[in-house]
Amino acid sequence: MIVADQKDITEIIAMTEGYRNILVIGCDTCVTVCLAGGAKEVAILASGLRLAAKASGRQVEVHETSIERQCEKEFVDALHSAVKGQDLLISTGCGIGVQTIAEQFPQIPVVPALNTKMLGLPERQGVWVERCQACGQCILDKTGGICPISRCSKSLLNGPCGGSQNGKCEINKDIDCGWHLIYERLKALGRLACLEEIMPAKNWSTSRDGGPRKVIREDMCL
Amino acid sequence: MKAGSRLEQLLTRGEFVATAELGPPKSADIQLIKRKAEILRGFADAVNITDNQTAIVRVSSVAAGKIALDEGLEPIIQMTCRDRNRLAMQADILGAYVLGLRNLLCLSGDHQSFGNHPQSKNVYDLDSIQLVQMFKNMRDEKVFQCGEEIRNTKKSEIMEPRMFLGVAANPFGDPFEFRVVRLAKKIKAGADFVQTQCIFDLPKFKRWMQMVVDQGLHEKVYILAGIMPIKSPKVLQYMKNNVAGMSIPDELIRRMEGAKDAKAEGVRICVELIQQAREIPGVRGVHIMAVEWEEIVPTIVKDAGLWPRPQVG
């Protein structure tokens, strides 16, 4: 899922400077699961903004709402009546949510309350870890189901660099060496021979490097 | 001959070679490069010119290499995958070649979080194995990475860069058993010579070399053992605790601590390691990494009985 966390409240307060009618919009999908932008976080943020406005003597109305998915226009359309009369929208959705709202309501400024971090999984309560960089060309079949693009700090494709020690990455002793994990997994599967092959230079054009990406499913198009 | 460099000629001839390292300055100080070159001239068969070493911005390795070449050294240009994509790397090898540089060492490079621009965007378009493969194909197949022939127009002559290609190997990184496989991959990709991470743990290095010899890899590539002179026990302790991929025996730290003159002891250890490494089957030379202590290299080379250096041509 998409993992995000909330910006420092002072940064969000600064974004509201000069606005009187503010709507904080939550999203009930990924950011609710990662406890960053669901209805509960919207409520906390909205009261924080009200307190800040009061403390600085500003006349501000802060409203709250949440929708199922900020990333889909159909859901965002449902905001029409709530948006009426607002002069600032604060999205607690991921970066896609913020942009969908901006596209649907071009006449009202929308600002992000979150920093969208990564595609990851909840490792344990309160801890999320990156597992995919959406590079557009999956090689997990060759690497024992562990992604070297996201889990090796250098995104190497042919094994661990010289800095791997005791199973940890050279940049931080708390980070697992992705290639060490791959090695151990393939060893357990009896597939170490996979690592003897040279993995060729990657085609990054399916990643960020190919420009803004678009997926078209002809069979699904109306 | 693949490139005809002095390093290649000496290794082919069976000489026990000695290479050293020249770290370019963190400023536009050309005199520093010249001073270091002056110290090393005549004491190393070839000199590695580091590339933004430890992810700290310095004079580019190609530019410093050209200056070192003009000062009478034979440079080995280092190139890391951290700072360039495949376009820049191929442009730089063409550039290095037209400037007369003939050796190139392919590295992943330390992650930028160690250096003076930790917030930078790294590249890692290729890894070091793909890098050496790309350069080998440029030399032997005369094609760019994209498959296009290396010439200006369809009618013009093919003019490929001919470099003697090196890689690094760390016998002390983990997983230990994979380190020999990784070396084999680097050889398969096109490595002509190998310089190892600096050796302090001789028994572990011997175990690694035994595995290398058992697989016959020493006959496919020239292996130079990395040696680093240490000025104080503190430096050793620091490396043990903070530098990834190092194996440093406590016994060595105690020996340095017990020494009256730590610098002299560091040199003695270095000379002993060179002599012991020389006895290991498959080791074809040493690579002396005197980081920011280039002045000590002549003493080490002399004390280790490696001076004068052989001549070529």
Residues of B in contact with A166 (CB under 8 A): 174
Report, as an integer, the average pLDDT of B223-230: 97
**DSSP conformation letters of B191-249:** -SEEEEEEPS-HHHHHHHHHHHHHTTGGGTSEEEEEE---S-HHHHHHHHHHSTT----
Spacing of C-alpha B46 from chain mean position:
10
pLDDT at B233 over 90: yes
Is A162–B133 a contact, with Cβ atoms under 8 angstroms apart? no
Q: Residue A177's closest chain B neighbor by CA? A: B174
Subunit contact B181:A195, Cβ cutoff 8 A? yes
Please return the burial class of B98, using the count of CB atoms within 10 Å of its CB with bins 0-12, 13-18 and 19+: exposed
The confidence band for A215, taking pLDDT boundaries of 50, 70 and 90, is: very high
Per CB-CB distance under 8 Å, the chain B contacts of A170 are 110-111, 244-245
Write the residue in A155, A156, A180 that is nearest to B175 by C-beta: A180
Asked if residue B215 lies in contact with residue B223, where contact means CB atoms within 8 angstroms, the answer is: no
Q: What pLDDT sits at residue A51?
A: 97
Residue in B81, B106, B108 to test binding to A, most A beta-carbons within 10 Å: B108
The complex's ipTM?
A: 0.95
Model confidence band, residue B292 (pLDDT cutoffs 50, 70, 90): confident
Spatial separation of the C-alpha atoms in residues A208 and A213, rounded to whole Å: 7
Q: Do B108 and A184 touch (CB under 8 A)?
A: no
* Structure-token pair, residue B149: 């022939």
Residue B179 pLDDT: 95
pLDDT of A39-50, one tens digit each? 999 999 999 999
Contact B108 A162 (CB under 8 A): yes
Q: What is the pLDDT of residues A76-86, one digit of tens each?
A: 999 999 999 99
Q: Do the chains contact at B124 and A154, CB–CB below 8 Å? A: yes
Tens digits of per-residue pLDDT, A1-23? 999 999 999 999 999 999 999 99
Q: What is the mean pLDDT of residues B30-49?
A: 98
Q: How many CB atoms lie within 10 A of CB B30?
A: 14
Amino acid identity at A109? P
Picking from B78, B80, B111 by the largest number of A CB atoms within 10 A of its own CB, the best residue to mutate is B111
Residue B193 is predicted with a pLDDT of 98
Q: Which band of pLDDT confidence, cut at 50, 70 and 90, is reported for residue B243?
A: confident
Give Rg (Cα) of chain B: 19
| B97-139 per-position pLDDT tens digit | 999 999 999 999 999 999 999 999 999 999 999 999 999 999 9
Nearest to A158 among B134, B172, B185 (CB): B185
- Tokens 């904080």 map to which residue? A24
What's the CA angle centered on B133, arms B128 and B138, to 5 degrees?
125
pTM score, whole prediction: 0.95
Share of chain B above pLDDT 70, in %: 100
Query: Mean pLDDT over all residues of chain A?
Result: 97
